[in-house]
Structure 1
Amino acid sequence: MTDNRVCVGALAGSFGVRGEVRLKSFCAEPEAIADYGPLWTEAGDRSITVSITQAIKTGFAARVSGIETKEQADTLKGVRLYADRDALPVLPDDEYYHADLIGLEVRDTGGALLGRVKAVLNHGATDLLEITGPGIAEPVLLPFTMAAVPTVDLTSGRIVADPPDGLFPEG
């Protein structure tokens, strides 16, 4: 996927027997996913228009362009959907798209390299940066808070972290 697109959701198979799909939105305002279209598959080879039909327990039921049957909807299970970055809202200075954080170098306040952001996770309380790198046997989960991550510099591709004592292996 190019840097010009951001993952905004995923399809989770069929909903009912008339070609609707289950749609999981990764957007801050979940229903806004339908406003960022057309959406693209990860390979970028297929454009998809999404129309939400109803909210359901696991996200939304939706109509997808070109899908008319349950069998066609089932073939889309697991397909991640990407929006053109230009279609997304501009964020305030202290907010970031997860896609922009992945791959950034992480250094401590003294400038020592801690690793790189492999993923951004959220299990309910706050976002966590999954950090991997040399000397780290198991990925480290760094809370993405102002206290633990005082600086994010997208221009230089760097995060400055002030992790809690003992979070990273002594190097």
Structure 2
Amino acid sequence: MSSDRICVGAIAGAFGVRGEVRLKSFCSDPRDIAAYGPLTTEDGRRSFAVTLTRPVTGGLGARLSGVATREDAEALKGTTLWAPRDALPSLPDDEFYHADLIGLEVFDTGGASLGRVRAIFDHGAGDILEVIGTEQILLPFTRAVVPTVDLAAGRIVADPPDSDE
């Protein structure tokens, strides 16, 4: 993955018969996705101007440049959409783009390596870091469990909850 681009959404499928797509936005304000364009596919081969049309179940209805039919829209199902990092707003010191956390080494408060962040999940109750080392560890991404994120040093300090609690 390129660090000069951030994944801001995905196409969940076609909506209607005239080429509209159902768009799932990963932005804190879902409607902001249209402001970061043009958006590209992960491989950078296709680029789309995004025009939001209406809220729909599970996302937003949108028109993408170059997508004119339901078949065109359906063929894009599952495609992730990427924005240039410099088009996105800068974040406060205690907020991070997921792309910046993936790959960071995680240490416990005693300095022992726990592994590296492989993925970040959000199932509605807050972000969870998946850390892979000698074993898989899932850590709630809260200040209590993850007191330190040092992007410059490429490391995270975590205080994992006891597994027998």
2:161: which partner in 1?
Answer: 164
**Superimposed CA distance per residue, residues 100-141 of structure 1 (whole angstroms, 9 cap, x where no aligned partner):** 0011000011110001101111111111101111x21xx221
Q: Which amino acid aligns with 2:141?
A: F
1:118 partnered with 2:118? yes
- 1:70 is displaced (CA, Å) by 0.6
Q: Give the percent of matched residue pairs that are identical in Structure 1 and Structure 2.
A: 65
Distance 2:44 2:26 in 1: 18
Q: Equivalent residue of 1:82, what SS?
A: strand
Distance 1:166 1:102 in 2: 23
Q: TM-score normalized by structure 2?
A: 0.97
1:57: which partner in 2?
Answer: 57
Distance 2:124 2:42 in 1: 26
**Superimposed CA distance per residue, residues 5-48 of structure 1 (whole angstroms, 9 cap, x where no aligned partner):** 00000001210101101100000000000000010100011111
**Superimposed CA distance per residue, residues 42-64 of structure 1 (whole angstroms, 9 cap, x where no aligned partner):** 00111111100000011011000
1:150 partnered with 2:151? no
Count of residue pairs the alignment pairs up: 164
Q: Which amino acid aligns with 1:12?
A: A
- 1:67 is displaced (CA, Å) by 0.7
Q: Structure 2, unaligned stretches of length 5 or more?
A: none
Q: Equivalent residue of 1:33, what SS?
A: helix
1:81: which partner in 2?
Answer: 81
Q: Which amino acid aligns with 2:88?
A: L
1:98: which partner in 2?
Answer: 98
Q: Equivalent residue of 2:73, what SS?
A: helix
Q: Equivalent residue of 1:100, what SS?
A: helix
Q: Which amino acid aligns with 1:120?
A: I
- 1:166 is displaced (CA, Å) by 2.5
1:69: which partner in 2?
Answer: 69
| Structure 2 counterparts to residues 15-26 of structure 1, below 5 A | 15-26=15-26
Compute the RMSD of aligned alpha carbons.
1.0
Which consecutive segments of 4 or more residues in structure 1 shift more than 4 A? none
Q: Equivalent residue of 2:33, what SS?
A: helix
Q: Structure 1, unaligned stretches of length 5 or more?
A: none
Q: Equivalent residue of 2:71, what SS?
A: helix
